[in-house]
């Protein structure tokens, strides 16, 4: 992938559009699609004996880790601890001998994450890393290296690295489940099939670019924006808020939809747009009832869901964004696209420097 913007106005937009290809590339490295089996390089790694996973990362990579926590616990039934890297070392984490410590980083150089990795190694943890730069320091210091094949990411706000991290983490969670005897061959085949559907679904999500661009002025006019989601879509809500903060400088928060009533609902009035991430599925009705609480208080809701979800709950929203209907496993990858595009178009509408936002660096090598 060439280091030019091609026909795109910004690297960020180009990188958003590369996602179907780079996610496919990443999945190709970790799945045997035709056989319907996982293919992670874990032969020398005793995954069956892993009793606890400790995930450490910063920024967008941290949110990928939060999504993965749901997957590790759901599929492998292995308890997961997760911290931002700058907190991890200083809270005296309890790390039992032989635990698996997992570090997620686009650059593989973030100082806080690297320091946490070295701390975990000193405490007897096995070290796995998910990085986008296979020659990076973290890659060199890992026992298990899982590369994302996103290609160079230039935009400071991470996009394609995030969805590729999710692809690797889903495969790793399934692999851990298999090692633990919790994944039958049929279930393995089903997971491989669902993951293999991600590139086409990402393409489908990109088809909504223009519609998202049209609604961007609603968000660009706001001072504060809330993002709501449940389950694995809760970290995605936080990632959506981070994207918006980073490049449009609008204050945004991501909240667990069910936690709204314990505080943030006090902020709601007609000036605060609320972005609700709610793919149809087991958590849909609960999220919708939280959404209606917000609407009853005058909140302007933008609902991101699939056709069925929008049919069921789209009335009364100021805008809706229709995603392809996907299996819940890949929803966090697919729904990342509209939140990236929304942040992008809002930033363009505000005239900020999308690829080089103020005060931020692509790779932070100081603690
Ligand atoms: C910086 C970047 C973020 C990134 C974070 C972690 O703050 O601006 O986009 O998510 O670092 O970087 P890493 O390379 O460790 O994923």
Report the distance separating Cα 305 and Cα 321, nearest Å: 6
pLDDT at 156: 84
24-76 pLDDT, tens digit per residue, is 999 999 999 999 999 999 988 899 999 999 999 999 999 999 999 999 999 99
How many angstroms separate the alpha carbon of residue 192 from the centre of ligand 1?
A: 29
pTM for the whole structure: 0.96
Report the distance separating Cα 248 and Cα 344, nearest Å: 8
275-334 pLDDT, tens digit per residue, is 999 999 999 999 999 999 999 999 999 999 999 999 999 999 999 999 999 999 999 999
Reply yes or no on whether the pLDDT at 3 is more than 80. no
Reply yes or no on whether the pLDDT at 82 is more than 70. yes
Reply yes or no on whether the pLDDT at 2 is more than 60. no
Reply yes or no on whether the pLDDT at 108 is more than 80. yes
pLDDT at 212: 96
Report the distance separating Cα 363 and Cα 154, nearest Å: 10
How many angstroms separate the alpha carbon of residue 347 from the centre of ligand 1?
A: 19
Reply yes or no on whether the pLDDT at 350 is more than 70. yes
Reply yes or no on whether the pLDDT at 355 is more than 90. no
pLDDT at 361: 83
Indicate which residues carry an active-site annotation.
362
How many angstroms separate the alpha carbon of residue 288 from the centre of ligand 1?
A: 32
Instruction: Indicate if ipTM > 0.90.
Output: yes
Residues whose CB falls within 8 Å of the CB of residue 266, separated by 6 or more in sequence, listed in order: none
Q: Residue 73: CA atoms inside 13 Å, Cβ hemisphere, count?
A: 14
Q: Which of 164, 162, 166, 305 is nearest to 243 (CA)?
A: 162
Which of 111, 117, 364 is the best mutation target for the ligand 1 pocket, counting ligand atoms within 8 Å of the beta carbon and taking the most?
A: 364
Q: Are 18 and 160 in contact (CB under 8 A)?
A: yes
**Pocket-forming residues, ligand 1, beta carbon under 6 Å:** 58-61, 105-107, 110, 113, 156-158, 360, 362-364
pLDDT at 224: 95
233-279 pLDDT, tens digit per residue, is 999 999 999 999 999 999 999 999 999 989 888 888 899 999 999 99
Calculate Rg over the CA atoms of the chain.
Answer: 20
Q: Whose CA is nearest to atom 7 of ligand 1?
A: 59
pLDDT at 267: 87
Q: What is the DSSP string of 178-208?
A: HHTT---HHHHHHHHHHHHTHHHHHHHHHTT
| Closest atom of ligand 1 to CA, residue 161 | 16
| Average pLDDT value for the chain | 95
């Amino acid at each position: 992938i060439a280091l030019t913007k091609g026909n795109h106005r910004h690297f960020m937009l180009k990188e958003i559009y590369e996602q179907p290809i780079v996610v496919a590339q990443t999945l190709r490295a970790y799945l045997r699609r035709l056989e319907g089996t996982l293919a992670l390089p874990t032969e020398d790694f005793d995954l069956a004996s892993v009793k606890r996973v400790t995930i450490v990362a910063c920024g967008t990579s941290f949110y990928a880790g939060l999504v993965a926590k749901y997957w590790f616990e759901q599929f492998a039934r292995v308890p997961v601890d997760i911290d931002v890297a700058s907190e991890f070392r200083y809270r005296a984490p309890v790390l039992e001998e032989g635990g698996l410590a997992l570090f997620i980083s686009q650059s593989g150089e973030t100082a806080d994450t690297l320091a946490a990795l070295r701390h975990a190694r000193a405490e007897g943890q096995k070290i796995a890393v998910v990085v986008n730069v296979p020659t990076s320091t973290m890659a060199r210091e890992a026992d298990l290296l899982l590369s994302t094949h996103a290609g160079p990411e230039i935009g400071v706000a991470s996009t394609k690295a995030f969805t590729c991290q999710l692809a690797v983490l889903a495969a790793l969670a399934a692999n851990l489940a298999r090692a633990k005897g919790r994944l039958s061959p049929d279930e393995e085949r089903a997971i491989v099939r669902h993951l293999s559907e991600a590139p086409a679904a990402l393409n489908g999500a990109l088809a909504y670019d223009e519609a998202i661009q049209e609604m961007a002025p609603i968000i660009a006019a706001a001072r504060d924006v809330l993002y709501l989601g449940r389950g694995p879509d809760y970290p995605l809500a936080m990632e959506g808020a981070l994207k918006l903060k980073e490049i449009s400088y609008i204050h945004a928060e991501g909240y667990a939809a069910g936690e709204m009533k314990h505080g943030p609902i006090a902020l709601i009035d007609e000036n605060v747009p609320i972005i609700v991430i709610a793919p149809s599925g087991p958590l849909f009705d609960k999220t919708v009832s939280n959404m209606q609480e917000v609407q009853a208080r005058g909140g302007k809701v933008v609902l991101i869901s699939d056709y069925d979800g929008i049919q069921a709950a789209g009335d009364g929203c100021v805008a809706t964004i229709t995603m392809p209907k996907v299996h819940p496993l890949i929803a966090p990858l697919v729904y990342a696209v509209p939140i990236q595009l929304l942040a992008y178009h809002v930033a363009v509408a505000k005239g900020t420097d999308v690829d080089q936002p103020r005060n931020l660096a692509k790779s932070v090598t100081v603690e």
